[in-house]
Amino acid sequence: MKKLLIVYDSEYNATQHVALILKDLFMKNNAFAVDLSPVELSNISGYDYVIIGSPIHFGKCTSKINHFLKCNKHILAQKTVALFLTCMSVKPTPNDTNIPVYIDPGFNTPEKPLKMMSFVEKTHASANYINHVFKYCKRVPFINIAIFKGNLKINKMKLVHQFLMFFAMRLLPDIKEGNFINSKSIHDWAKQLTAYYKKSI
């Protein structure tokens, strides 16, 4: 039986929640053995498929995920790897990679070329989120990248994060408090991955 590992980082549990939904979906599938691991405890050797999940912090994956990508880029390049990001705002750009990119319909933001975006919009452009990942693991052939809407509960955050989010919400009015995790979007993405895994068996 093929083995799938879901590796994630999560500061306020949204990314962990998405990872858990994915785990349940793939376990129901019965086609794979599925494990879930926080990034700091993860060991990817022995797995056929790896799914990596990170929240977006200041337009990038978390430092733990970036470190993981950098340290494991050679071994990841030999596996079937997918990535998902959770964030509160994304400005979709035309996809200029050959990797399918799934953007959660919950963002409900039309696509716009990067060069037509304001400075603030660019910091949340899908192309910039994704290109930043490639800085750490250029040769990893991701089979699919998803950007899911996460959740934001200001009063549960560290004071410094509350302060930063307060400013972010003024710069980008689409950033709103609440839980926007949508199981249907996660389900749709998992279906795309399953179709790919089945083809590759």
- Judged by CB under 6 A, does residue 66 bind ligand FMN? no
Radius of gyration of the chain (CA): 16
Nearer to ligand FMN, 29 or 109 (CB): 109
> How long is the chain?
201
Q: Minimum CB separation from ligand FMN for residue 124, in Å? A: 5
**Stretch near ligand FMN under the rule CB under 6 A, chosen from 4-12, 28-36, 39-47, 138-146:** 4-12
Nearer to ligand FMN, 75 or 164 (CB): 164
- Judged by CB under 6 A, does residue 182 bind ligand FMN? no
Give DSSP secondary structure letters for 19-85.
Answer: HHHHHHHHHHH-SEEEEEEEGGG---TT-SEEEEEEE-BTTB--HHHHHHHHHHHHHHTTSEEEEEE
Residues that contact ligand FMN, how many (by CB under 6 A): 22
Backbone angles phi, psi at 110, to 5 degrees: -70, 155
Which strand (E) or helix (H) includes residue 178? strand 178-179
Exactly one of 11, 24, 35, 48 binds ligand FMN (CB under 6 A); which one?
A: 11
Closest C-alpha to 118, from 89, 79, 158: 89
Exactly one of 26, 50, 93, 124 binds ligand FMN (CB under 6 A); which one?
A: 124
For residue 85, the cross-strand partners are: 54, 147
Who contacts 131 (Cβ-Cβ below 8 Å, separation ≥6)? none
Nearer to ligand FMN, 136 or 197 (CB): 136
- Judged by CB under 6 A, does residue 178 bind ligand FMN? no
Burial group, residue 45, by CB count within 10 angstroms (0-12, 13-18, 19+): exposed
- Judged by CB under 6 A, does residue 56 bind ligand FMN? yes
Q: Minimum CB separation from ligand FMN for residue 30, in Å? A: 28
Quote the tokens at residue 81. 């790897």
Residue window 126-165: x/- pattern of binding to ligand FMN, with contact defined by CB under 6 A: ------------------------xxx--------x--x-
**Stretch near ligand FMN under the rule CB under 6 A, chosen from 7-15, 31-39, 99-107, 193-201:** 7-15
Write out the residues near ligand FMN by the rule CB under 6 A.
10-16, 55-59, 86-89, 124, 150-152, 161, 164
